[in-house]
Amino acid sequence: GAAPREFREFGTLRLQRERQHILHLQLNRPNKRNAINLLCWRELVECFQDISRDSSCRAVVISGAGSAFTAGIDLSDLAGAFSVDPDDDVARRSWNLRQRILEFQESFSVMEKCPKPVIAAVHGPCIGAGEWGRRGGDWGRGGG
């Protein structure tokens, strides 16, 4: 098989090889109960792109650091993410809002597209955006 590879560092996630073919992805903001901020949304996409390319990985387990799986969206961080320019017309504001929503949705879609089984080890509170962890728990399409 392929040699295990080193993983890049993330600010809100911790990715490590748990066993020979098993990766453990941890939401890593325990002081914020793993609330999902703007950086986390982006890092989830990057991380799952890396995981998808890792030929030594056969499954991924996601958990949350500390006592919560996730407190959901970090509202203090995302408050300005959906602000609109009041000078724009309705169509432009709608288009920009749609683009922003699609950008955030990709953070979850990338998990669904992952060719490896993705298993959520939900523990403690799992609120809001974290509910993706409760929908069946395995987004992957098999593979590996």
Where residue 62 sits, what CATH number does that domain have?
A: 3.90.226.10
Residue 88 within a domain: yes
Residue 97 within a domain: yes
Q: What is the DSSP string of 48-102?
A: HHHHHH-TT--EEEEEESTT-SB--B-HHHHTTTT---TTS-HHHHHHHHHHHHH
Residue 37 within a domain: yes
Count of structural domains, the chain: 1
pTM (two decimals): 0.80
Residue 53 within a domain: yes
Range of the domain at 23: 13-120
Residue 22 within a domain: yes
Nearest alpha carbon to residue 133 among 81, 66, 78, 71: 71
Q: How many helices (H) and strands (E) does the chain have?
A: 3, 4
pLDDT in tens, the chain (144 residues): 455 567 889 999 999 998 999 999 999 999 999 999 999 999 999 999 999 999 999 999 999 999 999 999 898 887 777 777 888 889 998 888 888 888 888 888 899 999 999 999 999 999 876 665 554 444 333 443
